[in-house]
């Protein structure tokens, strides 16, 4: 059975052509058959998924189904799921079973969505290739020798590989958009504070935002309609009304001003990717949009800014993993500080330790002003660039990543090369803006993404433009071998 | 800028992260490269720029000081490595 899209599954359920049990069984069968290669899942919860599917079918029979009732999806393993192991891709939490659900999980469950399992990810979401996971690298469904990107690489591979129609993700520096681009699917990172961070294991709290990976913008709109909204349990949740995302997907692009930043087409961008992104921009122009060149002069500083702010916040957030209240604890220790430091040495992987060390260094006595404070000032300059641009245009568009998927193992020994992968995505995180990646072509048989970034709380517009692009093109309908 | 072995050991101590002598050279190499990357910001003129406190300039919300959560100690302690009589047990802190 073809997994299809969230919209096609919802239509089949509503028409009575399929039950949630059949859809959920099909997803579990696909995972069983093909995840041995992809390694997209850390945990599969077949039993609870079938029980939730049965409950969804009963709700439908009682005439109480909503638009998402009975749709099987997967959650990135960064979202706490009550009674279901949540590892964050780390040895530190390999046996952690949360006592509560993340708000993202409970909101989707309340809407009748069925969770089939938890997807693989870079450890604590720190990585751009999914190779930092304690549970092994995820493989790209388009070429198993290639990375699916990261950190939401398991979610991306699960959707691109046709195991599920949708999966949740998180994006701190590009972790939804970059893997979406590298696997040829749609990924949406909402505005900072739009989706609750409650129960989402923290990496860098001023940047972290939850979102979705789907095959189409329409599917993303359907899921975000449920996920977005104020949550009193998240101290930075935005108390701003949620727009009706699906309602405006069909709006015309006539007269929409789309800004193309010169800084997105720098020397680091692969020539073929540049050509494909330019062609996608021409497609938007053909649909009625007006292209304008804009400049984000401080954008090239976004990688160094991010690699101060994010590790600094991570070093603070990850201090909670001390072997006392949850997670791994080192054995055969005689003294408290020894327990802390051995627990953390054993529980964290190399990249996480590097970020903790970097963050601790930039926050240490005598360095705070030179690093963290300066980075927060440059961050303001970057946000100002976006503000100025949005005075002239409605939306910004460009590439999502500098290249198509790279080979597994290619960049593991060079953290700085790995960090430069996020050069086009980090700006939106630093400025707190919503962004999306949609497939816009192929180079060497591998997908390439077009990135859209809008002003704060313009998710409706981002989704509308992405949907209109997908009406005019069929890149999002291409499937890797074995995926339907 | 190259970090020294002693700086790595000092930062590791601050971070409560055990680092063996064998691991030090790798940290020196990679962290030095990361610090080189982020030091690009030294050259940026930020005089008069207010450091960003929140990406959307929102203020921290306050709430009424009411009890809203029930006591879930047993559930929370179920995932703790070592618990005795509702208390978290750790190795000796002082002699």
Give this complex's ipTM: 0.96
- A335, A357, A380: residue with CB nearest B12: A357
Poorest-pLDDT segment among A171-180, A303-312, A361-370, B15-24: A361-370
pLDDT digits (tens, 9 = 90+) for A435-458: 999 999 999 999 999 999 999 999
Buried b / exposed e over A448-480, threshold 16 CB at 10 Å, is: bbbbbbbbbbbbbbbbbbbbbbbeebebbeebb
**Residue A129 annotated to the active site:** no
What per-residue confidence (pLDDT) applies to A360? 98
For residue A94, the number of C-alpha atoms closer than 13 Å in the C-beta half-sphere is: 12
Q: Is the pLDDT of residue A173 over 70?
A: yes
Q: Is the pLDDT of residue A185 over 80?
A: yes
Average pLDDT, chain A: 97
**Residue A151 annotated to the active site:** yes
pLDDT tier at B63, thresholds 50, 70, 90: confident
pLDDT digits (tens, 9 = 90+) for A328-359: 999 989 999 999 999 999 999 999 999 999 99
Q: Where are the domains of chain A?
A: 6-258+392-477
Cα–Cα distance for residue pair B95/B88, rounded to 1 Å: 19
Q: Which helix (H) or strand (E) holds A465?
A: helix A459-472
Residues 6+ apart with CB under 8 A from B40: A301, A304
pLDDT digits (tens, 9 = 90+) for A45-76: 999 999 999 999 999 999 999 999 999 999 99
- Asked if residue A123 lies in contact with residue A112, where contact means CB atoms within 8 angstroms, the answer is no
Cα–Cα distance for residue pair A306/A329, rounded to 1 Å: 31
Cα–Cα distance for residue pair B27/A308, rounded to 1 Å: 17
Based on its alpha-carbon atoms, the radius of gyration of chain B, rounded to whole angstroms, reads: 22
What per-residue confidence (pLDDT) applies to B68? 85
For residue B35, the number of C-alpha atoms closer than 13 Å in the C-beta half-sphere is: 21
Kindly state the percentage of chain A with pLDDT values over 70: 100
Q: Quick one: closest CA in B to A340, which residue?
A: B16
Chain B nearest C-alpha distance from A340 (Å): 6
What per-residue confidence (pLDDT) applies to B95? 64
| Segments in A426-458 forming alpha helices (H) | 426-431
What per-residue confidence (pLDDT) applies to A365? 87
- Give phi and psi for A338, each to the nearest 5: -65, -40
Number of CB pairs, chain A paired with chain B, less than 8 A apart: 170
**Active-site pick, A19, A147, A151, A315:** A151
Structure tokens at A116: 């089939």
Q: Is the pLDDT of residue A170 over 70?
A: yes
pLDDT tier at A483, thresholds 50, 70, 90: confident
CATH number belonging to domain B5-43: 1.10.20
pLDDT tier at B2, thresholds 50, 70, 90: confident
Kindly state the percentage of chain A with pLDDT values over 90: 96
- B51, B63, B90: residue with CB nearest A232: B63
Interface test with A, best of B26, B34, B43, B94 (most A CBs within 10 A): B34
Question: Whose CA is closest to A312, among B58, B27, B11, B3?
Answer: B11
Q: Is the pLDDT of residue A1 over 90?
A: no
Chain A nearest C-alpha distance from B45 (Å): 9
What per-residue confidence (pLDDT) applies to B69? 82
Chosen CATH of A6-258+392-477 out of 3.40.50.2300, 3.40.1190.10, 3.40.640.10, 3.90.1300.10: 3.90.1300.10
Cα–Cα distance for residue pair A320/A348, rounded to 1 Å: 13
**Residue A147 annotated to the active site:** no
Question: Whose CA is closest to A348, among A373, A386, A369, A317?
Answer: A317
């Amino acid at each position: 059975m073809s997994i299809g899209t969230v919209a096609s599954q919802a239509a089949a359920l509503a028409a009575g052509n399929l039950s949630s049990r059949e859809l959920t069984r099909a997803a579990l069968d696909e995972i069983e058959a093909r995840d041995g290669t992809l390694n997209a899942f850390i945990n599969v919860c077949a039993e609870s998924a079938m029980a939730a599917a049965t409950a969804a079918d009963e709700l439908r029979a009682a005439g109480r189904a909503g638009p998402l009732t009975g749709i099987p999806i997967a959650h990135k393993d960064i979202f706490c799921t009550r009674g279901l192991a949540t590892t964050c891709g780390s040895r530190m939490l390999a046996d952690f079973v949360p006592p509560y659900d993340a708000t993202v999980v409970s909101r989707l469950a309340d809407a009748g969505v069925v969770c089939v399992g938890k997807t693989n990810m870079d450890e604590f979401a720190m990585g751009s290739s999914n190779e930092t996971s304690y549970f092994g690298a995820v493989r790209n469904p388009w070429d198993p020798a290639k990375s699916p990107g990261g950190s939401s690489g398991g979610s991306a591979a699960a959707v691109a590989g046709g195991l599920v129609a949708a999966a949740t993700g998180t994006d701190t520096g590009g972790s939804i958009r970059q893997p979406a681009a590298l696997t040829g699917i749609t990924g949406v990172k909402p505005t900072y504070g739009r989706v609750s961070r409650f129960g989402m294991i923290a990496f860098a709290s001023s940047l972290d935002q939850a979102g979705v990976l789907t095959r189409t913008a329409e599917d993303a709109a359907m899921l975000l309609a449920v996920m977005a909204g104020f949550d009193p349990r998240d101290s930075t949740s935005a108390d701003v009304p949620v727009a009706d995302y699906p309602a405006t997907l069909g709006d015309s692009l006539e007269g929409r001003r789309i800004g193309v930043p010169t800084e997105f087409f720098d020397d680091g961008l692969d020539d073929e990717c540049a050509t494909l992104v330019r062609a996608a921009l021409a497609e938007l122009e053909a649909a009625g949009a007006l292209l304008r060149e804009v400049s984000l002069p401080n954008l090239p500083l976004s990688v160094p800014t991010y690699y101060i702010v994010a590790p600094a916040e991570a070093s603070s957030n990850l201090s909670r993993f001390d072997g006392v209240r949850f997670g791994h604890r080192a054995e055969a220790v005689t003294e408290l500080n020894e327990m802390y430091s051995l627990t953390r040495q054993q529980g964290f992987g190399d990249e996480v330790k590097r970020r903790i060390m970097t963050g601790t260094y930039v926050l240490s006595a005598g360095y705070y002003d030179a690093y963290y404070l300066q980075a927060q000032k440059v961050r303001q300059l970057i946000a100002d660039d976006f503000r100025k641009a949005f005075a002239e245009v409605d939306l910004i568009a460009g590439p999502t990543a500098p290249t198509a998927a790279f080979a597994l193992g290619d960049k593991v020994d060079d953290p700085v090369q790995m960090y430069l992968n996020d050069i086009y995505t980090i700006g939106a995180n630093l400025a707190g803006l919503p962004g999306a990646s949609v497939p816009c072509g192929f180079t060497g048989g591998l997908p390439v993404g077009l990135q859209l970034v809008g002003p704060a709380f313009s998710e409706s517009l981002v989704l509308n433009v992405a949907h209109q692009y997908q009406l005019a093109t069929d890149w999002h309908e291409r499937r890797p071998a074995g995926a339907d | 800028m190259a970090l020294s072995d002693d700086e790595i050991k000092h930062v590791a101590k601050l971070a409560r992260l055990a680092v063996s002598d064998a691991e030090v050279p790798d940290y020196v190499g990679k962290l030095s490269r990361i610090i080189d990357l982020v030091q690009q910001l030294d050259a940026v003129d930020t005089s008069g720029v207010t450091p960003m406190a929140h990406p959307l300039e929102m203020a921290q919300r306050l709430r009424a000081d009411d009890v809203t959560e029930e006591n879930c100690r047993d559930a929370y302690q179920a995932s703790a490595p070592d618990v005795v009589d509702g208390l978290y047990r750790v190795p000796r802190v002082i002699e």
